[in-house]
C-alpha cells in the first residue's frame, strides 16, 4: 500500500524538485523527460585573489589536468541541478593554483523559462575563499 502511495505522489514531488532545484527530468525516475533540450552546462572560473582586478581563467589551457573533473562536475550539475556541490572541483582548482586566495565559479545551464516558453541560460555564481588549515 505504501508503495502505491509513493508511486502516486512521486510525479508531483519530482516536478517540484525539477522546477525549484533544476534536477534533470530524466533522473530520479522522472516522467518529464520528453521535453528537455540537449545537455548544456558551462563553467567559468575567475581568480579573485585581487577582488578589484579579477582574472578570468581559461580552464582548457591553464588547467588541462582538471578537464576530467570539470566534465564530471558538469554531468553532476546537469543531473542534480543545485543539489550538486562544486566543493571537490574547487578544492582541485585551489590545489592546482597555490597562489589563488579566492575564486568565483560561474555555472550556466540551459533551462525552460515557463513564462516566455523559451529556453534561457540560467547563471549562478559561487564565491569560494581558500581556507588555510
Mean pLDDT of the chain: 84
Model confidence band, residue 128 (pLDDT cutoffs 50, 70, 90): very high
For residue 124, pLDDT beyond 70: yes
For the segment 13-46, what is each residue's pLDDT rounded down to a tens digit?
877 777 777 777 766 666 655 555 566 789 999 9
pLDDT for residue 126: 95
pTM: 0.71
- Residue 24: exposed, middle, or buried by beta-carbon count in 10 A (0-12, 13-18, 19+)? buried
Which positions ≥6 away from 70 have C-beta within 8 Å? 43, 59, 89
Lowest model confidence (mean pLDDT) among 23-32, 58-67, 106-115: 23-32
Summarize the confidence of residues 52-67 as an average pLDDT.
Answer: 90
d(CA 18, CA 86): 19
Together in a domain, 29 and 49: no
Residue 8 is placed in which grid cell?
Answer: 502516486
Number of domains in the chain: 2
pLDDT for residue 30: 67
Together in a domain, 59 and 105: yes
Helix (H, G, I), strand (E, B) or coil at 41: strand
pLDDT for residue 68: 93
Together in a domain, 44 and 69: yes
Angle at 73 (CA atoms; ends 48, 44), nearest 5 degrees = 35
Together in a domain, 1 and 30: yes
Query: How many contiguous H segments (helices) and E segments (strands) does the chain have?
Result: 4, 4
Amino acid at each position: 500500500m505504501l508503495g502505491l502511495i509513493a508511486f502516486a505522489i512521486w510525479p508531483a514531488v519530482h516536478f517540484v524538485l525539477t522546477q525549484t532545484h533544476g534536477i534533470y527530468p530524466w533522473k530520479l525516475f522522472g516522467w518529464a523527460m520528453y521535453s528537455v533540450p540537449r545537455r548544456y552546462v558551462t563553467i567559468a572560473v575567475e581568480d579573485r585573489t585581487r577582488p578589484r582586478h579579477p582574472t578570468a581563467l581559461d580552464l582548457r589551457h591553464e588547467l588541462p589536468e582538471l578537464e576530467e573533473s570539470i566534465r564530471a562536475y558538469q554531468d553532476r550539475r546537469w543531473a542534480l541541478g543545485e543539489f550538486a556541490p562544486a566543493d571537490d572541483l574547487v578544492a582541485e582548482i585551489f590545489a592546482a593554483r597555490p597562489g589563488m586566495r579566492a575564486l568565483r565559479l560561474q555555472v550556466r545551464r540551459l533551462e525552460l523559462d515557463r513564462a516566455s516558453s523559451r529556453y534561457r541560460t540560467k547563471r549562478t555564481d559561487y564565491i569560494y575563499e581558500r581556507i588555510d588549515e
